[in-house]
Amino acid sequence: MTAPDAPAAVVRGRPFGARRTALWSAFGLVHALLILLCFVSPGWPLGDVEQVYRSWAEGAASGRFQVGIDTPFVYPILAFGPIILALAFGPALYAATWLGIVTLLDAAAFALLLRRPGEAATRAAWWWLGFLLLLGPVALARIDSVTVPIVIVALLLLESRPLWGAALLTIATWVKVWPFAAVAALVVASRDRGRVLATAAGTSAVIVLIALILGSGLTAFSFVTEQTGRGIQIESSVGLAWMWQAAAGLPGSFLYYDHEILTYQVTGPGIDLAIALMTPLLALAVVAVLLLGWRAMRDGAGFDRLYPPLLLALVLTLIVFNKVGSPQFMGWLVAPVIFGLLVRPGAWRTPAVLVAVLAGLTQLIYPHLYDWLLLAHPAMVLLLTLRNLLEVVLLGWAIREIWRSPRPDYRTGARRLTPDPKE
């Protein structure tokens, strides 16, 4: 006689309800701590929210100007949505409302993740909470914080509603550009790329049409020129060469604050050439990764083997080859890792650990030790160098996985998550 199967609501001897209660309790505690850190940490983590976003929202509410419509906007036009929404309870509560919006978005993505059966989703949820703690207050206090849960939801929808997932990814791209990587990777890895492209194009057309009706004209695309005209930010990988020169006290290399775009940048001999080269180099690197993914797809790589590392590689390319470097960029890595942990838990343990380490190093750099970085202290420049080198190591791992994706998968824990819509 065989023992009866365990009830579906019990996983490894622990009731599903108790497991969910523990996860939601941890979610609440983590976000409460992050909100506290936003207000008490050094370096003014809420600076972008309270100084920049609120001024944009108040400008629109008073009828003086609306970024993206009347004046150039550093972000795509849909970024203005959460920015103006955070003004719902008045300027005095702007930061608190912003943090509430991001927490609710995280909760929606967290709930959808927990609806997935199996231990992989549970472990991915715990990993996400750990990542948030390690990254610190910037996990909530930037416009990027709005896009991360949207992208997670979109990826989770790819299995059951792939076109809805593609539409959400496109919407997220019109909030902050980085989710473009998820759309591009989807076009390469999916055999239903025609419908994916049509969905992305149609969604973008609706967004642009609404902006034009509101009177934006070409200002709706101002985020492109606003980004390309920037200098070399101190936390970027390319900026390390001048950061070390500044740390060594070499003449002509120093840090400065750009009052127009409100960021710390670095300058020195040859910086103008680097500024001119980085945007074309970034574009070439993205194309190279996409071509590598296309080659893997043509050689028979399945969606679940190819899409997660391709997405991770594209996101890391946007970070490593970018002349802009910001701590919130680490949040972009959450969605690829969660998706990878769901599809191939065993294979994605290494990148999950590496991304967690990246988050911890990033929080040390900003906000806690940022003042030392602004002094170009050698120890801090070394810490920044280690963080940026680890990004390159992770990019190398992702590229290797893309290259290997057409081969049979013998690793344990791999399972099919997103069947091709045509199958």
pLDDT at 422: 37
CA angle (417, 392, 168) in 5-degree steps = 40
Buried b (16+ CB within 10 A) or exposed e, 68-105: bbbeebbbbbbbbebbbebbeeeeeebbbbbbbbbbeb
| Cross-strand partners of 264 | 257
CA atoms within 13 A on the CB side of 13: 0
d(CA 322, CA 284): 12
What pLDDT score does 51 carry?
A: 95
Residue 19 confidence (pLDDT): 84
Asked whether 57 and 83 are in contact (CB, 8 A), the reply is: yes
Q: Side chain identity at 148, as an amino acid letter?
A: V
Residues 257 and 273: their CA atoms lie apart, in Å, by: 20
pTM for this entry: 0.92
The pLDDT of residue 226 is 79
pLDDT of residue 8: 39
Q: What are phi and psi of 286, to 5 degrees?
A: -60, -45
Look-up: residue for tokens 């590689």? 313
- Give the integer Cα–Cα distance in Å for 272 and 266: 11
pLDDT at 12: 47
pLDDT at 423: 34
Q: What is the pLDDT of residue 18?
A: 66
> pLDDT under 50 in the chain at which residues?
1-13, 412-423
